[in-house]
Amino acid sequence: MTTSQRIELVCPAGSLPALKTAVDHGADCIYVGFKDATNARNFTGLNFDPKAMREGVAYAHARSRKVLLALNTYPQASNWADWTAAIDRAADFGIDAVILADPGLMAYARKTHPQLRLHLSVQGSATSYEAINFYHERFGIQRAVLPRVLSLPQVEHVIANTPVEIEVFGFGGLCVMVEGRCALSAYATGESPNCNGACSPGKHVRWEQTPRGMETRLNGILIDRFGDDERAGYPTLCKGRFDVGGETYYAIEEPTSLNTLELLPELARAGVRAIKIEGRQRSPAYVAQVTKVWRAALDRVMADATRFTVQPAWIAELDKVSEGRSHTLGAYYRPWK
Amino acid sequence: MKPVKLALGPLLYYWSRQATLDFYAAIAESAADIVYVGETVCSRRHELRLDDWLEVADVLAAAGKEVVLSTQSLIESESDLKTLRRIVAQTRYRVEANEMSAVHLLAGAGRDDWIAGPALNVFNPPTLELLAGSGARRWVVAPEMSGAALAELQRGLAEPIETEVLAWGRLPLAHSARCFTARHFNLQKDTCEFRCLGMSDGIVLRTREGESFLTLNGVQTQSARVHNLLADLPAVTEVADVLRVSPQGEHTTDVLALFRAALDGTTSPQAAFEQSAAWMVDQPCNGFWHGRPGLEQYVAA
């Protein structure tokens, strides 16, 4: 095989400038969120108000690109109406697909807006074709985003056994835990990705220069301590250094980014339909850099997967924006597990 | 307090075959009304295979317990699905579905007696009603859900459904494809040498200030502190029909007996809470129940 079917490049935008940047640098789809807890990047100063959303959708559609809306947190009885209202607004704004995790919301969207395309969010934690096909049969989901859990052969096996398009993460911050199955942040701070759309939220973070070094805390819990020669990273709680059995190390994960550029030919052969770039909380500069590199890489692989090689210049560009400035293949590569 | 059943959740650690069998022999004589059995954490653990678990189930059922087979929380491979299909195909015992593959298979088999497990992310009435419409007859509340949110969810249901609340044990906080126990020993999961075998309560992860924070249990991460709702029982039993105790290395039957005494009114909730201190592997916490960070021990002013 020399050419493969179209693989969409799905890029993040936390603001209107980031959305325009993603479009200008070659994203096929841009995923966004409203300015509230209905999405998993509910951070201060981020996301779209109605005016920005209308302008963003118009900008993308004028250039034949799609806008996807993440509504991927789990509503409670008390705020259910906020989430259904968000779905109604999405339909009204002409959003091309909504990315949902909650089955109740999917049922609502299916019933109220049957024309609205549904994607299963990574927060839905569907790691097998049996799980994905459940959402397909019940709600007609057309795409599922796989949690960063499966190895490449496992991804291929899922694709072979479902009519649902499969989207995978290609680049960006790495959740070590199964998405939608992590309450670590809730345990430490009371706020979780599932219910509040935030992990290790900034308002609980404290940076303190001490005689022992720079200390980073989350709700008072020491997540890491850095020497003068070290670059102090954000205290995402699964990426701190802890003591286990008298040994201090990154007990859960290093501060590293997922980067699957070198796997692109295999992901294409497996039949992956879209590659997702993480980072709605990142700057337009990040979006520009990453979109540019991945556009080039995807064009190469779709033109001729057999002759695809990772360009050193691409890696150099991506290194500039990576968390922790190191890369991993994550679970796609079995020894990572 | 209204009549409330006592359940023992699935064993989350990996104990030797003999230790596991001895444990369940004691559970057969315990105060538990319901016992969840099966391997839910890691497919590589095989001191007991499904047939062995079914034998354990038979012993518990003969002792008068309601037995439920719990499914694996993270399904990755076709071999995981094969085990899942066997669990769904047997009809002697009810099944606790711990992710959506199990829900799909149970609903597809037309089963209408299963339990929606704590990791299904049920947070609102429409989602719970959807599962009930697919055959769920009981649900286990996500540990991160507060008592107030639970009560509000229940008020929104057209039909009530039996509700189970985790009331004792280290909190199951996260699942990963990565094994953190193997990582601790610089091993990969595929060649893990089964290092978690025999760790009665997992390995404690501490901050660099020496505070216990989390527990590494293979691919699962738990709290270090013990979620303990004994002191909160009057409020908890208003919304819970079943209370879950999670197995621990020692004193599980003592804990079950203590809950029974507190539910029967022979011990006050506060006295039971104080008595339980001797049987906790770490400090208590109840923050989730009160809508606060899970690690807090919250006492109403």
pLDDT in tens, A101-157: 999 999 999 999 999 999 999 999 999 999 999 999 999 999 999 998 899 999 999
Indicate the SS3 state at residue B57. helix
A-chain CB neighbours of B171 within 8 Å are: 183, 187
- Is residue B47 within 8 A of residue B16, CB to CB? The reply is yes
Given A78, A126, A243, which is nearest B149 (Cβ)? A78
ipTM for the assembly: 0.97
Min Cα distance A309 → chain B (Å) is 28
B1: confidence class by pLDDT, cuts 50, 70, 90: low
User: What part of B 12-51 touches A (C-beta under 8 Å)?
Assistant: none
- What is the C-alpha to C-alpha distance for residues A328 and A259, in angstroms, rounded to an integer? 6
pLDDT value of position B157 = 97
Q: Would the CB atoms of A77 and B73 count as touching at under 8 Å?
A: no
Give tens-digit pLDDT for B199-245: 999 999 999 999 999 999 999 999 999 999 999 999 999 999 999 99
Min Cα distance A100 → chain B (Å) is 13
Given A195, A219, A241, which is nearest B144 (Cβ)? A195
Q: CB-based contact (8 Å) between A101 and chain B?
A: yes
B-chain CB neighbours of A195 within 8 Å are: 123, 144
Across chain B, what does the average pLDDT equal? 97
Give tens-digit pLDDT for A213-264: 999 999 999 999 999 999 888 999 999 999 999 999 999 998 888 999 999 9
A-chain CB neighbours of B216 within 8 Å are: 244, 251
Give tens-digit pLDDT for A52-71: 999 999 999 999 999 999 99
Region of residue A279 (phi > 0: left; psi between -120 and 50: alpha; otherwise: beta): left
- Is residue A251 within 8 A of residue B183, CB to CB? The reply is yes
Q: Which among B105, B129, B175, B296 is the top mutation candidate for probing chain A, defined by the most A β-carbons within 10 Å of its own β-carbon?
A: B175
Which residues are within 8 A (CB) of B186 and not within 5 positions of it... i.e. 6 or more apart? none
Give tens-digit pLDDT for A65-101: 999 999 999 999 999 999 999 999 999 999 999 999 9
Residue whose structure tokens are 């934690």: A125
pLDDT value of position A2 = 42
A186: confidence class by pLDDT, cuts 50, 70, 90: very high
pLDDT reading at A8 higher than 60: yes
- Which of A9-23, A195-209, B169-183 has the least mean pLDDT? A195-209
> What's the whole-number mean pLDDT along residues B106-132?
98
Across chain A, what does the average pLDDT equal? 93
Q: How many residues does chain A have?
A: 337
Q: CB-based contact (8 Å) between A112 and chain B?
A: no
pLDDT above 90 coverage of chain B, percent? 98
Q: Would the CB atoms of B121 and A194 count as touching at under 8 Å?
A: yes
A39: confidence class by pLDDT, cuts 50, 70, 90: confident
Which residues are within 8 A (CB) of B33 and not within 5 positions of it... i.e. 6 or more apart? B5, B6, B7, B65, B66, B242
Phi and psi torsions of A146, nearest 5°: -80, 135
Give tens-digit pLDDT for A190-224: 999 998 888 999 999 999 999 999 999 999 999 99
pLDDT above 70 coverage of chain B, percent? 99
B301: confidence class by pLDDT, cuts 50, 70, 90: low
Cα maximum dimension of chain B: 53
Beta-strand relationship, A205-210 and B203-206: unpaired
pLDDT reading at A3 higher than 60: no
Given B101, B127, B189, which is nearest A130 (Cβ)? B101
- Residue A48 carries which DSSP code? B
User: What part of A 196-225 touches B (C-beta under 8 Å)?
Assistant: 219, 221-225
Give tens-digit pLDDT for B42-84: 999 999 999 999 999 999 999 999 999 999 999 999 999 999 9
Min Cα distance A290 → chain B (Å) is 26
pLDDT value of position A79 = 93
Phi and psi torsions of A65, nearest 5°: -110, 165
pLDDT value of position A324 = 64
- What is the C-alpha to C-alpha distance for residues A21 and A11, in angstroms, rounded to an integer? 10
pLDDT value of position A1 = 43
Nearest chain A residue to B184 by CA distance is: A251
Give the H/E segment covering residue B108: helix B100-108
Give tens-digit pLDDT for B239-270: 999 999 999 999 999 999 999 999 999 999 99
B-chain CB neighbours of A177 within 8 Å are: 174-176, 221
Min Cα distance A186 → chain B (Å) is 6
Between B161 and A329, the more confident residue is B161
Phi and psi torsions of B23, nearest 5°: -60, -50
pLDDT value of position B55 = 98
pLDDT reading at A326 higher than 80: no
Give tens-digit pLDDT for A274-291: 999 999 999 999 999 999
Given B124, B130, B143, which is nearest A183 (Cβ)? B143
In this prediction the pTM is 0.96
Q: Would the CB atoms of B177 and A222 count as touching at under 8 Å?
A: no
